[in-house]
Amino acid sequence: MNKIVWVIGQSAAGKETFIKYAVANPDCELMQQLGYSNSKIIPLKESLYFDDDERFKIIDLVLDLIKKETNAVILIKWQHPDTDTDVIGKLKAVTPDTPNEFVLLSVESDVLYARLTKKPWWNEPEDASVAQEGMNQIVEVMRNNIKKYLNIGLTLTEIDATDGYKIIKNSLLKTND
C-alpha cells in the first residue's frame, strides 16, 4: 500500500536532509520503525523547489505516482503555503484510501536558531531574543495546524532531529484538544 508522507518542521529543522537520508538509507532502523523499509521510498523532488504559488501542483504529481506505484512511501517537503492554501487537506480528500502522514522534525530551539542563522537568506537581527520569540510563535502556529490535520485523519510521528533522528514516543501533538 502507498503512503503519502509530509515531512514537516520549522525552517532549518532539516526536512530536505531527512528526505535525502530516507532515500539513501531505506533499510535503516529508523525507516523500519516508521514502517517504510519494505517500501519504495520516493521523494517528491518538485516539493523541494516549487514556489509558493506552484504548491498546488503537488496534488497531481502525487496522484500520478499513486497510479504507477503499489508499495511506495512518497515523501513531500512541507512548506508554509501547504497549510495556508490547504494543499494537505485537498490531497487527503482526493486520496481517502491512501494513508496520509506527518513526520514532524523537532529540533531544540537553540540548535534550530543556530541553524537558521546559517541559512543564506538569514539577516542577523539586532536583538536575537526577539528573533527567538518569533521563531517559537511560528512553531506554535505550525503545531496548531498539525492538530487540525490530525482531526481529519492524518497520522503523526514526531522525530527529534536535533542530533540524528530519534522517534519521540509521547508527542504532545497526538492528544486531541
pLDDT at 175: 47
Q: How many domains does the chain have?
A: 1
Share of the chain above pLDDT 90, in %: 62
Q: What is the CATH number of the domain that holds 136?
A: 3.40.50
Q: Is residue 61 part of a domain?
A: yes
Inside any domain, residue 176: no
Query: Would residue 67 count as lying in a domain?
Result: yes
Whether residue 38 lies inside any domain: the answer is: yes
Q: Is the pLDDT of residue 62 over 80?
A: yes
Backbone angles phi, psi at 52, to 5 degrees: -50, -40
84 in any annotated domain: yes
pLDDT number for residue 176: 44
| Nearest Cα residue to 75 out of 26, 11, 27, 3 | 3
24 domain residue, yes or no: yes
pLDDT tops 80 at residue 66: yes
CB of 24 closer than 8 Å to CB of 158: no
pLDDT category at 41 given cuts 50, 70, 90 is: very high
pLDDT digits (tens, 9 = 90+) for 4-21: 999 999 888 999 999 999
Mean pLDDT, to the nearest integer, of 69-79?
96
123 burial (CB, 10 Å; 0-12 / 13-18 / 19+) is: exposed
Rounded to the nearest integer, the mean pLDDT of the chain is: 88
Asked, for residue 20, whether it belongs to a domain, the answer is: yes
CA-based nearest residue to 150, from 170, 177, 123: 177
**Spatial distance between the Cα atoms of 14 and 22, rounded to a whole number of angstroms:** 12
Nearest alpha carbon to residue 105 among 31, 20, 11:
11
Q: Which helix (H) or strand (E) holds 166?
A: strand 166-168
Q: What are the DSSP E strand ranges found in 9-81?
A: 40-43, 72-77
Mean predicted confidence (pLDDT) in 43-70: 95
Cell numbers of 63, please? Answer: 496522484
pLDDT, position 131: 60
Q: What percent of the chain has pLDDT over 70?
A: 88
As given in the structure block, the three cell numbers for residue 111 are 540548535
State which residues form the domain around 73. Answer: 3-170
174 three-state secondary structure: helix
Q: Is the pLDDT of residue 88 over 70?
A: yes
Mean pLDDT throughout 65-83? 95
pTM value?
Answer: 0.88
In-domain check, residue 177: no
Q: Are strands 100-106 and 155-160 parallel, antiparallel or unpaired?
A: parallel
Q: How long a stretch of residues is the chain?
A: 177
